[in-house]
């Protein structure tokens, strides 16, 4: 079959959707244009590679068919804007790749037809991230896309598992594309692999070691190659393959310590510490004096201790953080919680024992979190890492693809995602993106550094914590999360009974019930059924409108800011006070009994700051107590002896914990001190320190709030 060339003057892309384009560019023209692009290619090794994040509106499923079950068609039969279901193409790269967000190559089929092939979302660890000239690939159920300009089409591969790198000897390659084996013997391939390894071209090294293994039947030759390939896979972070290679390298003798050692390191890389421990213990039995095994074994035991006890040296973890080091080598302590069906939605997290306010609920190391805190890049970086890891370590699929991916994707899943077809794990990038948006958390490098009300850093990475992702949202949540690098710490904000569902706030809760529920609906597709939202929805629209109006009046008067130490005129304080009283009256007693009154938080905080500036300590006490009340807490009684923790344990089940609660209790302490109520001041400091532990994840100096 020849290249289809037709007269110019074709119709627009939309008009031709579904049709075979009447004119396609010939190979020479394609290659020449490609060459000019290649000359402009940025080859600097550290240039950040752009990521093509999928637009969900164009979602289509990944192929779950084997290339051997598809009808192979020539390039000339590709139809514009069409997913060729049940069909596949086999093509050879006729040019070096242009590597940008994807890798674009000129390819040709067995009939001499040429076209452009754009492959996206390949891991850097794969040869397919830039298909070398001469390689033959199969594209399953290809999508043929117009590039905008007339006659300008390309085969666009979004799902990484939709393209397969074929071995040169694969019988599926049609005769005209067949080069035969590039190298003759297994030894040749091994030597080529060793050379690629020395040149640090690790994907090529893996490819050549694979060819060497395929070319030999000699077990004695193959064992050391498996060891080498295990080593390269460890470098590439392909732990599943590294483990399989390491185990395949065993010969049954005492030298097998190396196989168990490598397999143990691979299992460690997958955070599977129990398996890693078993493998490293076997390695140590075979070679008890080897210091490397001893070191890895001790490290693994430390992770298992963390998983078992939940004992962490949080200050040391904080001290070890730096801009280059945010991935902490720690195990996850999850045994206080379990995943089970929730009355609110799907699955949720539940307490496996009684927990006291302040207790660690769980500590989880991120399943995946790129060290990328630039707001414009954080989401794309997480998406790219998720895709890469699912390709490189298919065993992750069980945990990651099991997460909720949004209502539309629940229906659209083919069920084949994560299964192995044609030797690769099926990765559907649209499902990955759906899972990312519904489950990722934003994480500061350290919550302690980020919670200073005066100076939040605002630079947040995005990450995936699979266990934490099973938590449903509540505005009046019974836990709080904080971060130390990629470690998430969840603490109880009040007492939790065994079997109780554990909730967290997905995002800082907005003041107005209608706005925050719009946010939940738009972002996560649910209506919040927490005590606060259900309660507030009982209040008539007219009352909500009145509260909005009054809050807007306070915000306008005060510029939405809090006073510093400057002297605020009495008249202004009186005006805000009057509005705050009206606002308080706009909260119906029967609706708000025992519930936070969030619209009152800002006016009361403003009055605290204004009276503090005037050293009017009695008024500071009054309004600090109101701030606590308005977050749903019972206020401490001056006439009684009270335990500082009671603020958290005796306030019912609808408290809303934030750093502002801590700040209010600390200001309360300062005012009591000034008024000579020493005991009240001391108790308040203790209560504030306790609250600060909930907020930052571990005990910290309250003075950090001012820095
Ligand atoms: C991260 S998942 C939480 C775990 C999820 N329930 C599951 O079954 O895997 C987020 C999704 O859970 C649901 N969800 C979370 N909190 C909820 C709530 N309070 N009420 C109803 N649905 C909720 C929403 O559909 C949201 O998109």
Give the pLDDT confidence of 307-363 residue by residue, as tens digits: 999 999 999 999 999 999 999 999 999 999 999 999 999 999 999 999 999 999 999
pTM over 0.90: yes
Q: Are strands 82-83 and 98-99 parallel, antiparallel or unpaired?
A: unpaired
Q: Which residues pair with 116 in a beta bridge?
A: 106
Pocket flag, ligand 1, residue 473 (CB < 6 Å): yes
From the alpha carbon of 403, which atom of ligand 1 is closest? 9
| Ligand 1 centroid to residue 628 C-alpha, Å | 29
How high is the pLDDT of residue 413? 84
How high is the pLDDT of residue 50? 82
Residue 706 predicted with pLDDT over 50: yes
Tokens, residue 68: 């051997």
- In which band, very low, low, confident or very high, does the pLDDT at 168 lie, cut at 50, 70 and 90? confident
The CA-based angle 196-200-206, given to 5 degrees, is 55
Percent of the chain with pLDDT over 90: 83
| Domains along the chain with CATH numbers | 13-177 (2.40.50.140), 186-307 (1.25.40.10), 314-524 (2.170.270.10), 531-706 (1.25.40.10)
Pocket flag, ligand 1, residue 525 (CB < 6 Å): yes
- In which band, very low, low, confident or very high, does the pLDDT at 456 lie, cut at 50, 70 and 90? low
Number of other residues whose CB lies within 10 A of the CB of residue 507: 14
Cβ–Cβ < 8 Å for 464, 374: no
Task: Give me the chain's average pLDDT, please.
Answer: 93
CA nearest to 443, candidates 457, 423, 433, 453: 457
Q: State mean pLDDT over 473-498.
A: 98
Q: What is the DSSP letter of 220?
A: H
Pocket flag, ligand 1, residue 572 (CB < 6 Å): no
Residue 707 predicted with pLDDT over 70: no
Q: Which residues pair with 349 in a beta bridge?
A: 339, 502
Residue 117 and residue 142: Cα distance in Å, rounded? Answer: 10
Q: What is the DSSP letter of 503?
A: E
Q: Whose CA is nearest to atom 15 of ligand 1?
A: 472
Pocket flag, ligand 1, residue 507 (CB < 6 Å): no
- In which band, very low, low, confident or very high, does the pLDDT at 414 lie, cut at 50, 70 and 90? confident
CA distance to 89, 143, 382, 413, 433, per residue, from 139 (Å) = 5, 9, 26, 21, 22
Pocket flag, ligand 1, residue 524 (CB < 6 Å): yes
Residue 207 and residue 395: Cα distance in Å, rounded? Answer: 21
Cβ–Cβ < 8 Å for 128, 137: yes
- Crossing angle of the two packed helices 601-613 and 617-630, in degrees rounded to 10: 160
The 3-state secondary structure of 157-190 reads: ECCHHHEEECCCCCCCCCHHHCCCCCCCCHHHHH
How high is the pLDDT of residue 472? 98
Is the ipTM, as predicted for this complex, more than 0.85?
yes
Residue 544 and residue 546: Cα distance in Å, rounded? Answer: 5
How high is the pLDDT of residue 453? 56
How high is the pLDDT of residue 3? 33
């Amino acid at each position: 079959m020849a290249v289809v060339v037709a007269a110019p003057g074709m119709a627009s892309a939309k008009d031709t959707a579904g049709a075979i384009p009447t004119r396609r560019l010939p190979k020479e023209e394609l290659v020449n244009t490609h060459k000019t692009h290649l000359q402009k290619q940025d080859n600097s090794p550290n240039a950040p590679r752009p990521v093509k994040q999928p637009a969900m509106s164009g979602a289509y499923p990944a192929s779950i068919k084997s290339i051997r079950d598809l009808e192979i068609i020539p390039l000339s039969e590709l139809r514009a804007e069409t997913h060729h279901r049940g069909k596949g193409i086999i093509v050879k790269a006729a040019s070096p790749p242009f590597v940008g967000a994807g890798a674009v190559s000129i390819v040709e089929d067995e009939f001499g037809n040429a076209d452009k092939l754009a492959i996206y979302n390949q891991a850097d660890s794969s040869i397919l991230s830039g298909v070398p000239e001469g390689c033959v690939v199969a594209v399953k159920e290809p999508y043929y896309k117009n590039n905008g300009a007339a006659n300008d089409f390309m085969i666009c591969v979004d799902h990484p598992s939709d393209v397969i790198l074929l071995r040169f000897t694969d019988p599926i390659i049609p005769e005209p594309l067949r080069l035969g084996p590039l190298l003759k013997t297994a030894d040749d391939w091994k030597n080529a692999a060793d050379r690629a390894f020395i040149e640090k071209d690790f994907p090529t090294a893996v490819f050549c070691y694979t060819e060497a293994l395929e070319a030999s039947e000699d077990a004695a030759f193959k064992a050391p190659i498996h060891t080498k390939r295990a080593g390269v896979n460890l470098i590439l972070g392909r732990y599943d393959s590294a483990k399989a290679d390491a185990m395949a390298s065993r010969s049954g003798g005492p030298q097998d310590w190396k196989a168990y050692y490598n397999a143990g390191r691979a299992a460690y890389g997958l955070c599977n510490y129990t398996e890693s421990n078993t493998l490293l213990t076997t390695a140590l039995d075979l070679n008890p004096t080897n210091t490397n095994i001893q070191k890895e074994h001790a490290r693994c035991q430390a992770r298992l201790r963390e998983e078992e006890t939940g004992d962490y040296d949080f200050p040391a973890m904080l001290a070890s953080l730096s801009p280059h080091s945010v991935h902490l080598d720690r195990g996850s302590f999850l045994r206080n919680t379990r995943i089970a069906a929730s009355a609110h939605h799907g699955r949720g997290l539940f307490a496996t024992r009684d927990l006291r306010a302040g207790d660690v609920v769980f500590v989880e190391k991120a399943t995946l979190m790129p060290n990328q805190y630039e707001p414009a890049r954080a989401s794309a970086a997480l998406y790219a890492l998720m895709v890469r890891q699912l390709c490189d370590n298919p065993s992750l699929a069980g945990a990651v693809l099991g997460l909720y991916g949004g209502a539309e994707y629940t229906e659209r899943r083919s069920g084949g995602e994560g299964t192995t077809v044609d030797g690769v794990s099926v990765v559907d990038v649209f499902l990955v993106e759906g899972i990312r948006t519904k489950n990722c958390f934003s994480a500061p490098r350290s919550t302690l550094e980020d919670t200073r009300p005066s100076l939040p850093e605002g630079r947040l990475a995005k990450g995936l914590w699979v266990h934490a992702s099973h938590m449903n949202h509540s505005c009046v949540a019974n836990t709080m999360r904080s971060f130390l690098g990629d470690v998430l710490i969840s603490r109880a904000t009040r007492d939790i009974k065994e079997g109780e569902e554990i909730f967290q706030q997905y995002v800082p809760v907005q003041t107005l019930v209608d706005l925050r529920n719009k946010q939940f609906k738009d972002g996560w597709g649910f209506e919040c059924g927490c005590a606060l939202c259900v309660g507030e929805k009982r209040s008539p629209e007219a009352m909500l409108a009145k509260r909005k109006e009054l809050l807007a009046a306070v915000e306008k008067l005060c510029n939405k800011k809090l006073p510093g130490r400057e002297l605020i005129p009495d008249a202004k304080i009186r005006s805000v006070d009057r509005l705050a009283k009206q606002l308080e009256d706009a909260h119906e007693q029967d609706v708000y009994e025992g519930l936070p009154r969030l619209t009152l938080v800002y006016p009361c905080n403003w009055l605290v700051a204004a009276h503090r500036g005037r050293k009017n300590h009695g008024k500071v006490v009054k309004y600090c107590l109101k701030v606590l009340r308005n977050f749903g807490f019972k206020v401490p009684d001056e006439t009684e002896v009270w335990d500082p923790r009671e603020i958290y344990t005796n306030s019912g089940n609808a408290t809303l914990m934030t750093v502002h609660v801590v700040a209010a209790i600390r200001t309360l302490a300062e005012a009591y001190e000034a008024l000579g109520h020493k005991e009240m001041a001391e108790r308040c400091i203790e209560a504030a320190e306790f609250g600060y532990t909930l907020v930052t994840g571990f005990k910290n100096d309250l003075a950090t709030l001012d820095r």
